[in-house]
Amino acid sequence: MSLTVANQMTVSLARLLKNGETVFHGVASPLPMVAVLVAKRLQAPDLIYLNITGSVNPQPERLPESTVDPALLKGTAALFELKDVFDLAARGGLNTVFLSGLEIDRSGCINMSAIGPYDKPKVRLPGGAGSAFLMETASRVIIWRTKHDRRTFVEKVAFTTACGTVDRVVTPLAVLRRGPDGLEVESIHSYSNPDEVRRETGFPVKVSGETAVTPPPTAEELAALAAVDPEKVRLFEFRTS
């Protein structure tokens, strides 16, 4: 089952990427890494792929589970370090950034900081890294999260780590987009259903039998996934321990 989910999420992320745009992902981002490489093989060969290791359009020989691994430097002709990525975003040159959040709310804001008071939290979360900056400077943000439940998708985040240019949210159950009233369900994956999405989302969503079904991975997309990620690193984020 988790391979079905990982494949659906990865191709859903890949389909959002456009040819020629400049895309960045940070640490702990196996799904975006695979999605970018799949998109480059399919509809976006001229996409400029930046990541936290500082590589530009790398051609890794094997995909690492950790996206800070120097395997992601392989094939780059120049180093474009994190500070350079931030400067690029600040001057308006970064098109798409992949981010995630422990909590994601209806407005598309994320919490990566704390549950409970910030100075004396009940749970201290890992921190937002550059998300508070990138969500206001990158042209658009794509959020992915390998859990879709009421603890994750909340009416209002307990702490607003970052808020801004969220375009889409890809989850194990659905693809959400930002509409005039906040996040709305764009399509539900073929193996899920409106009831499950409604039940697992902590804010009201309009879903019905009329809601679009996310197209399952095509043969071409599955072939690209197999070519890019033969060791199935995309499953890493679904491990429980």
Q: Which residues bind other proteins (CB under 8 A)?
A: 52-54, 66, 68-70, 73, 79, 81-83, 90, 109, 113, 118-119, 128, 132-137, 159-164, 241
Angle at 76 between CA 50 and CA 51, to 5 degrees: 20
Nearer to other proteins, 163 or 222 (CB): 163
Cα R_g (the chain), whole angstroms:
17
Nearer to other proteins, 7 or 165 (CB): 165
Q: How far is the CB of 69 from other proteins (least distance, A)?
A: 7
Nearer to other proteins, 8 or 76 (CB): 76
Q: How far is the CB of 29 from other proteins (least distance, A)?
A: 15
Nearer to other proteins, 23 or 135 (CB): 135
Amino acid symbol at 163: C
Q: How far is the CB of 192 from other proteins (least distance, A)?
A: 31
Nearer to other proteins, 119 or 210 (CB): 119
Q: How far is the CB of 63 from other proteins (least distance, A)?
A: 14
Cβ–Cβ under 8 Å, residues 237 and 31: yes
Q: How far is CA 45 from the centre of its chain?
A: 20
d(CA 97, CA 16): 12
Q: How far is the CB of 127 from other proteins (least distance, A)?
A: 9
- Closest by CA to 158, choosing from 113, 212, 115, is 115
- Closest by CA to 201, choosing from 219, 181, 223, 183, is 183
Contacts of 49-52 with CB under 8 Å at 24 or more apart are 49/23, 50/22, 50/23, 50/24, 50/80, 50/85, 50/88, 50/94, 51/24, 51/25, 51/26, 52/24, 52/25, 52/26, 52/27, 52/82, 52/85
Q: How far is the CB of 152 from other proteins (least distance, A)?
A: 18
φ/ψ of residue 36, rounded to 5? -65, -45
Nearer to other proteins, 84 or 196 (CB): 84
